[in-house]
Every structure is written in structure tokens, then in C-alpha cells.
Amino acid sequence: MQIRKGTENDIEEVAALYDAVNDYLESHTNYPGWRKGIYPIREDAAQGIAENNLFVAEAEGQIAGTFILRHRPEEAYALADWGNRLDYSEILVLYTFAVHPRFLRQGIGKQLMEFILAWAAREKIKAVRLDVYEKNTPAIRLYEQMGFQYVDTVDLGYGMYGLDRFRLYQRVL
């Protein structure tokens, strides 16, 4: 598997991955609470590529996974006591972490997380932060296995979608 920065040529395939994930979630347990046509969508991929912070993982000739790394948190992150006074120039926030359903249960998520942590260390980042819907037990299990520490539970403002409680995690590097 090769992980690289996404390009404009990847937008349609990443959007198709988002749709495939949402279709899969619709017919299985929707742990993250994502909804097709709402999040994630093509515009999220296009914005990530425009900001040069969307990554793709290629396997077997297709995009098997994707994620976005930003130095910008959700507003509710300010409500948490992170236990340090780092500036967001020293922090990466993980967004839109997704694995294509065809590649589930193959260790792709773990490989993506290992890449993220190695990338952050090379970039001299001091912490990686993320949020996860409180009922997304598979993702929570992965993050905790990767050494992320629970910080707090907050409302990110997605109550209109039935998503009101998100767990915040941090991995200090």
C-alpha cells in the first residue's frame, strides 16, 4: 500500500469512496453516524486537496483509504483541558478518516494511523488530536490501540443529525 498526498485527479475517486462508505454504513451498523450527501461528500475531498492536506492510500490499483490532517480544530476543542498548552501550529487534527468497504478488516486503518503518527513526527508535530462519535466503538478501539488518550466528551453541534456527543482524543508525540 502506498500513502501519498491527494491530487485533483483523486477527487472523484475519493468522493466515490465516501459514497461507498456511506452505502455500507446504511446497510450495516452506522457507528460514525455519517450520512450520504451530508458528510463526507465530494466537496470535503475537493477542499482537502485545495488545502493540500488530504491523503490517499492506494492498494490494488484503487484508493483504499483517505484522511485529512489540519492545524485547525473544531470550535468545541477549546472547551477541553488537553493537559498541555500547545499551539495548533504544533498540532495536527485528523478529519474524515475512511477506509473503503472493500478493504475493511485488512489492517488498512492501522496502517493509516501508523503513517499519520510517523508523518507527524517527521513534521515535528507535538500532538495529534481527533474527535469520534461516542458510539463509534470500532474507531475508538483503533485509536486507543494506537496510543491515543481520551480527553473529554463534547458537543460539536451536529445534534440535528442525532450526533451530539463526541469523544476527544490526543496522542502526544
Per-residue pLDDT tens digits for 15-53: 999 999 999 999 999 999 999 999 999 999 999 999 999
Does 162 have pLDDT greater than 90? no
Does 135 have pLDDT greater than 90? yes
pLDDT of residue 158: 87
For residue 98, being part of any structural domain is answered with: yes
For residue 152, being part of any structural domain is answered with: no
Whichever domain contains 106, its CATH number is: 3.40.630.30
pLDDT of residue 164: 86
The whole-chain average pLDDT of the chain stands at 96
Does 88 have pLDDT greater than 90? yes
For residue 55, being part of any structural domain is answered with: yes
First to last CA, the chain: 24
pLDDT of residue 34: 94
For residue 69, being part of any structural domain is answered with: yes
Does 93 have pLDDT greater than 90? yes
pLDDT of residue 161: 83
For residue 161, being part of any structural domain is answered with: no
For residue 81, being part of any structural domain is answered with: yes
For residue 11, being part of any structural domain is answered with: yes
Gap between the Cα atoms of 146 and 128, Å rounded: 11
pLDDT of residue 27: 94
For residue 154, being part of any structural domain is answered with: no
Tally of domains within the chain: 1
pLDDT of residue 41: 96
Q: Which domain holds residue 28?
A: 2-126
Average the pLDDT over 136-152 and give the result.
97
